[in-house]
Structure 1
Amino acid sequence: MAVRQNTTWKNFLSPMVRFLIDEDKWRRYADSIDWEKQSDRFRRSDIIVPLYYSSQNFHGIEGGYLNPEVAVSYDPVTQYLLPPHETLVRQALIDAVKVHPRRILDLGCGTGSTTLMLKQAFPQAEVIGLDLSPYMLVRAEDKAQSAGLEILWRHGNAETTNFQNAAFDLVTASLLFHEIPNTVSQAILRESFRLLVAGGQILILDGNQKTLRQFEWLNDIFEEPYIREYAAGNLDASMGAAGFEAVRTQDVWWINQVTSGVKPIPVTDVTAQKKRQQYTPRSIDSTIDNNDLEGLGSPVFGIRA
C-alpha cells in the first residue's frame, strides 16, 4: 500500500499541533538519549518486523514507529487527538475491566500510557507491555520509572507473543487495531484467546467504527494507512469469530469505543466457574502526565549520571 503524500494532517493539523506543543523541550529530551543504545536493551533478534509495519509512515513520520522521533512526538500529539481528554478516554478501558487480574498483557503498548494506568488500577497484578518498536519501549520505561511503577516491557509481535497458553487474566490493546490490517487484527484476537485463562477478559480501546463510517472525512485527517479497512470492519464480529463470548462495544465520547469479550469457561470446569470473580476497578486519582519531562529519567534534566 502506497504512503499517502497529501493528508489533512500533514497540510493543516500537524502545523497546528506543533504550534501548541513545546518543541524545544521535546527536542532536548530526544537529544539527551542514545536511542540505539537504549533500544538495544529491549530489541530481540528473534523478532521479525512484518512488512505492514515497517513499510508505512505512521503519523506523518518517515519510518513510522521504527523511527525514534515517533517515540518522542507520540505523547504530545496524542493528547490533542483523544477529546475531551486523553486520560478520560483511556480510563474508559480501565472502567470496563470485569475480572480481578493477576497477570495483565497490554498489546501494542506504545509509550505505555494505558499500561501505566492498568498498573495503577491493579497494583498487585503483574503487568507486561508488549510492542514491536523498541524505541517506544524506551519511552515507556522512562514514564514507568518516573511514576514509580514496576512494569515489564517486552519487544514482540502481538500476533505471536510466545507466552504460554492461559498465561493472563486480562489482555488489552489501546489504539492498536486501526493501525493494522484486518487480517492481522484477527490473528491478534486468536492469539489473545490462546493467552487468556478460561473466564479471562479482552478489552480493546480504539476509534469508533460506526462514527468513522458515518463521517468519512475523519478517515482523511491522519496518515493512517489502514484506518479505512478498520472502519469498514466489525470488531464485535471479529471477536466472536475468534471464540469470545459476551462481546459488547460501548461508545467513548462518540469518537472512540471500548470492546469487551470473555473467553468462555467450559461447563465441565467447575473449579473455574467457582473462581470467576466480578471486579469493579477503582478510578485513577492522579493523572499520568505524558508531557512532564522534568520528572523523567533523562540525563538532560540531571536525573541519571
Structure 2
Amino acid sequence: MEKTQQQILRHHGGDGEHARKMISQTYADRHDEDFWHFWQTQMAPVIGANEGLMDLGAGTGLFVQALAQGYPNASIIGIEAAPYMLNAVVDLPSHARVVADDLNDPSEQVEAGSVAAIMCNMLVHELIQPVLMFQAAYRWLKPGGRFCVIDLVRQPLESYLARKYPNAELSNANLTREQLEDAFEHFLEHNRYHAQDIVYMLQACGFEVIEQTPLKNGRMIRLVAQKPR
C-alpha cells in the first residue's frame, strides 16, 4: 500500500491537497447530464434490488454518495488508497462506505459474485498495472454485471502539449525546464495505453467489451465490459 500511495502522490505532483481540491471541483463536469444518461442506459439495467455497487479510485466518495442517494437499498463500496482523499471523505449513509485498499493488488473487499456494477473513472492511467484490479473486478461482479472504465488514452505529443500549453512551441524559450519536465512526465503517465490496450486487458481477464465510446475528441475512452452470464 505504501508504495502505491507514494506513486499516486508523485502522480499528483507531490501536492495531495491540491489534487483533492481539483478532483472535488471537477466532479460535476465528470458526472454531468450525459454521464447520468449513459449510466441509466448502460449500467442501471443490470442493477437489481439489494445488489452491490462499487467505485474504484473513489477519492473523497462523491460518486459513492450519489449512488447511495440513487440506490438506497444497495450495498455501496468505494475503494481509495490516497490518505489525503481518505481523510476528507464526505458524509455517507450506513449502506455506503469508502475503504482503504491498494488497487495495484486489491484485497477481497466483498463477496465474489455479489456486485452488479463497478465504476472506474480516471484511475487506470494512475496504476503501475491494472491487471490485478481487472481480475478482482471480474471476481466481484455477478454474471451479467458490468464494469465501466473511463480513462485517458494515448495521443500524439504535439496535441498533448498544445492542449497543456496552447501558445507554446518547443522551438521557443518561454517554457522553463520545470514546466517541460512536468509536461513530459505527465505525458508518459497519461499516455500509458491505447484504447485497444485496455480492451485487450479486459478481454484477457474474461470480460466481454460491449461499448467503446471516444470522449474529449479522442483523448479519453469510455468502455463498458460485461461478465458473461
TM-score, length basis structure 2: 0.72
SS of match in other structure, 1:169: strand
User: Which residue does 1:50 correspond to in 2?
Assistant: 3
The alpha-carbon distance between structure 1 residues 185 and 243, as it changes in their structure 2 partners (threshold 3 A), is: same
The count of residues paired between Structure 1 and Structure 2 equals 199
User: Which residue does 1:161 correspond to in 2?
Assistant: 107
Structure 1 position 245 matched with structure 2 position 197: no
Residues 233-260 of structure 1 show CA distances to partners (whole Å, capped at 9, x for unaligned) of 6221111011001432113343433211
User: Which residue does 1:204 correspond to in 2?
Assistant: 149
1:132 CA drift (Å): 0.6
> Counterpart amino acid of 1:174?
N
User: Which residue does 2:227 correspond to in 1?
Assistant: 263
Over the matched positions of the two proteins, sequence identity in percent amounts to 20
1:290-305 correspondence runs (5 A): none
> Counterpart amino acid of 1:250?
T
Select the structure with the greater relative contact order (CA < 8 A; seq sep ≥ 6). 1
1:177 CA drift (Å): 0.8
- The CA distance in 2 between the partners of 1:206 and 1:114, in whole Å, is 16
- The CA distance in 1 between the partners of 2:193 and 2:100, in whole Å, is 24
Structure 2: runs of 5+ lacking an equivalent: 165-182
Counterpart contact for 2:73–2:95, Cα < 8 Å: no
User: Which residue does 1:87 correspond to in 2?
Assistant: 31
- The CA distance in 2 between the partners of 1:132 and 1:94, in whole Å, is 25
User: Which residue does 1:141 correspond to in 2?
Assistant: 90
SS of match in other structure, 2:86: helix
SS of match in other structure, 2:192: helix
SS of match in other structure, 1:239: helix
- The CA distance in 1 between the partners of 2:142 and 2:95, in whole Å, is 23
User: Which residue does 2:176 correspond to in 1?
Assistant: none
1:106 CA drift (Å): 0.8
1:119-130 correspondence runs (5 A): 119-130=68-79
SS of match in other structure, 1:141: coil
Q: Report the RMSD for the aligned CA atoms in angstroms.
A: 2.9
SS of match in other structure, 2:2: coil
1:218 CA drift (Å): 2.1
Counterpart contact for 2:195–2:221, Cα < 8 Å: no
- The CA distance in 1 between the partners of 2:220 and 2:67, in whole Å, is 19
> Counterpart amino acid of 2:3?
P
User: Which residue does 2:121 correspond to in 1?
Assistant: 174
Counterpart contact for 1:203–1:261, Cα < 8 Å: yes
User: Which residue does 1:11 correspond to in 2?
Assistant: none
Structure 1: runs of 5+ lacking an equivalent: 1-47, 266-305
- The CA distance in 2 between the partners of 1:149 and 1:218, in whole Å, is 43
